[in-house]
Structure 1
Amino acid sequence: MNANMKDLILVNTGRSKTEITDENKWIVQFREEREFDRIKENTIKSDISRLKVFLAFCKKLDKEPDTLNRSEFTKFFNYLENERKLGNSVIQYFKLLKVFYRVLRLHNFKEFETECKERRRFSKFEVKHYDSIDSKILNEILKAILQHRSRSNLRDALMIRMLWDTGCRVSEVIGITYEDCDFKEAKFRIKNTKSSNERFVVCSSDTLNALKEYVKYNVNTGNSDPIFQSIRGGPVRRGWLSQVYRNAVVKLKEQGKIPKNRRVVVHSLRHGRAVELLNKGVPIEVVKEYLGHSSIETTLFYAHSKERTNILLNTIKKNL
């Protein structure tokens, strides 16, 4: 065995320096700024994945991101739609580039951004991806889950009810631990938020009583253990709950209890909760804080939703 072979077999413990290419330079700067803003790692990774597509396009044009002009940004979005066939998801790239150019303090995207706003090209809520639900449809979904033969049907139904009461995202409910719970006041601290800001939510007395009964059978009960657990005592998979919900909705559509043209997803619970709170007269600023929206514009979307407009029109009609 010669010396070269030995060198190849032995593990190289020396750390080689990562080559900083032009593409890496932009990614490194972007990551540093986003980490400084305390953005979650998963969000940063998702953004960088899209950023690489943009940087590859820049390379094809033989240009740097800070030298692109309005027409070249137009070419990029046409490329996303026509060649990559991304459809409505191109709005995610528009949002990314707004953040990218803002945090890196570059100004050449501003003209394109302003023009898009004037032409309503990438309106934030241009496309509605799902319908909201009300308490009547919620009960049908809960019944369908409870009737399903599964060892976890009670837990799954309780989690869905918790999502409705609290208006939380799925990841937020999955992340609730024992130390986050005030079972006396029916109050829960939400730490795993999209904005990284903690908030508190509450549930109904019925949900609280069911929850108190459910946790008696948990495998692990330490402060850092989740209150909703798998059979082995770990956290519930997000994909599992979404699948359970989806199966119930499909079944109800087959039975004609939910119109087939309605797109009812897990996030419909959060949407429906916002609409119901607003309809009951809860101030929009309070709803914003309760749901953990970072912008009042998001809450205003629910305030002006089709479902809420129909309710308001029916109320006015009754009083004519």
Structure 2
Amino acid sequence: MPKLRKGGNIDDIHDMILIKSKSDEPEEKIDYKKSEIDKIDKEFTIQRRFDGLKERTIKNDSQRLKVYLNYIYYNLNKTVDTTDNKDYVAFFNHVRHDRKCKDTTVNKYFKLLTVFYRIMKYKNFNDFLVESKERKRFTKHEIRHYDAIDEETLNMILEKLIGMKGSTKIRDATFLRLLWDTGCRVSEVAELTYSACDLKKGVFKLRNTKTKRERTVVCSKETLKLLNYYLQHQGDQGPDEYLFKSAYDGIINKRQLGGKFVGIVNELKREGSVPENKWLVLHSLRHGRAVNLLDKGVPLDVVKEYLGHTSIETTMIYSHSTERKNKMLDKISKIL
């Protein structure tokens, strides 16, 4: 029998000799609910990505979905296929009152769950969906849309912009001019590459659109002249290079430009040049172009195609816009 090594501990040898039961060892606790939540979120994300949604939209939806899943799994001790009407009521009360979400955010949760239960083929949300539509639970609050911008206000913004310090003011001003002429979504202009542009005629093919349908837009001679002036001072102009680049040669930072735009609008409000109740953002240029085209007599169906709307109802929103109503009232007052 081997002797105990000098300095050894008899208790250590004892522990090594005896057979231990696995139950005696501390086990790492597995959070099965979290695993299930992550699995569901992953499956839903795969479906949304396959549908062609933008990554930012997928990320936002994933964050909201996890709020819902965490609530039903941990607070209600339910699963996605065992929830019922009272559970949905409890969740939306939680979102509205405990999380202090605004009505617009609550509506986003409702739309998300509608899509989620449809895509994942669970039927237990259907009754709540029908009942909510009948009782107008998520439509009674008016959703305020961005205001349309006009040429006069846009020119004031451009004046402020080119008077600022910084190396990107020409780029930013050119971006706004092109955004105004084309009536594009911000992402559509931001993602323009040289291969998609006829820089002699001022014709642009939009390939990465919200509706996944390619469309063509144009710009004025003045905007084209400005665009070519700006591009003369740019570096690499390969077919896959963006027209509007960041300082690091990547795609232009839309959020940064949007913040600069809103900052100028707020400055004009303080000066009294823009009404305080005007809600102007970069997307207001698209609204403004729609109203402008309709005011000039361009047929509704043509405006629909130019802006890339999927339905004529969306375009009709602009035909009944506050800006057009105000102009109509001005005309009526003059003939009374």
TM-score w.r.t. length of structure 2: 0.81
Deviations 1:276-301 (Å, cap 9, x if unpaired)?
A: 22233333333333223344443333
Deviations 1:3-50 (Å, cap 9, x if unpaired)?
A: xxxxxxxxxxxxxxx999332342233223223322233322221111
In structure 2, the partner of 1:68 is 83
What secondary structure sits across from 1:132 in the alignment? coil
What secondary structure sits across from 1:188 in the alignment? strand
Q: Does 164-173 or 125-134 show the bigger shift?
A: 125-134
Task: Report percent identity of matched pairs.
Answer: 46
1:239 equivalenced with 2:259 (yes/no)? no
Given that residues 146 and 154 in structure 1 are in contact (C-alpha distance below 8 angstroms), is that contact kept between their aligned partners in structure 2?
A: yes
What secondary structure sits across from 1:201 in the alignment? strand
Q: 1:32 to 1:239 in 2, by over 3 A?
A: closer
Of 13, 21, 24, the residue aligned with 2:38 is 24
Of 239, 242, 246, the residue aligned with 1:226 is 242
Q: How many residues align?
A: 303
1:303 equivalenced with 2:319 (yes/no)? yes
In structure 2, the partner of 1:80 is 95
Amino acid at match of 2:217: V
Give the alignment of 1:119-198 within 5 angstroms. 119-123=135-139, 126-198=142-214
Shift of 1:319: 5.1
Given that residues 188 and 201 in structure 1 are in contact (C-alpha distance below 8 angstroms), is that contact kept between their aligned partners in structure 2?
A: yes
In structure 1, the partner of 2:222 is 206
Shift of 1:175: 1.0
Q: 1:278 to 1:106 in 2, by over 3 A?
A: farther
Q: 1:57 to 1:287 in 2, by over 3 A?
A: farther
Given that residues 39 and 195 in structure 1 are in contact (C-alpha distance below 8 angstroms), is that contact kept between their aligned partners in structure 2?
A: no
Shift of 1:257: 0.7
Distance 1:132 1:148 in 2: 24
Q: Does 39-48 or 177-186 show the bigger shift?
A: 39-48
RMSD: 2.5
Q: Does 132-141 or 108-117 show the bigger shift?
A: 108-117
Deviations 1:25-83 (Å, cap 9, x if unpaired)?
A: 42233223223322233322221111111111211212222332223222211111101
Given that residues 73 and 112 in structure 1 are in contact (C-alpha distance below 8 angstroms), is that contact kept between their aligned partners in structure 2?
A: yes
What secondary structure sits across from 2:81 in the alignment? helix
Q: 1:49 to 1:232 in 2, by over 3 A?
A: closer
What secondary structure sits across from 1:111 in the alignment? helix
In structure 2, the partner of 1:93 is 109
Question: Following TM superposition, where does structure 1 have runs of at least 4 consecutive aligned residues deviating by more than 4 angstroms?
Answer: 316-320
Deviations 1:102-132 (Å, cap 9, x if unpaired)?
A: 2223333233223333333323982214322
Deviations 1:178-231 (Å, cap 9, x if unpaired)?
A: 111012331112233233333222111110111111111101111111112334
Amino acid at match of 1:154: I
Shift of 1:232: 4.9
Q: Between Structure 1 and Structure 2, whose CA radius of gyration is higher? A: 2
Distance 1:54 1:265 in 2: 31
* Structure 2 unmatched runs, 5+: 1-31
Q: Does 196-205 or 124-133 show the bigger shift?
A: 124-133
Given that residues 218 and 233 in structure 1 are in contact (C-alpha distance below 8 angstroms), is that contact kept between their aligned partners in structure 2?
A: no
* Structure 1 unmatched runs, 5+: 1-17
In structure 1, the partner of 2:54 is 40
Distance 2:84 2:324 in 1: 42
Distance 1:244 1:154 in 2: 13
Amino acid at match of 1:219: G
Distance 1:132 1:124 in 2: 24
1:256 equivalenced with 2:256 (yes/no)? no
TM-score w.r.t. length of structure 1: 0.85
Distance 2:258 2:60 in 1: 20
In structure 2, the partner of 1:13 is none
Distance 2:297 2:171 in 1: 32
Amino acid at match of 2:212: S
Shift of 1:157: 0.9
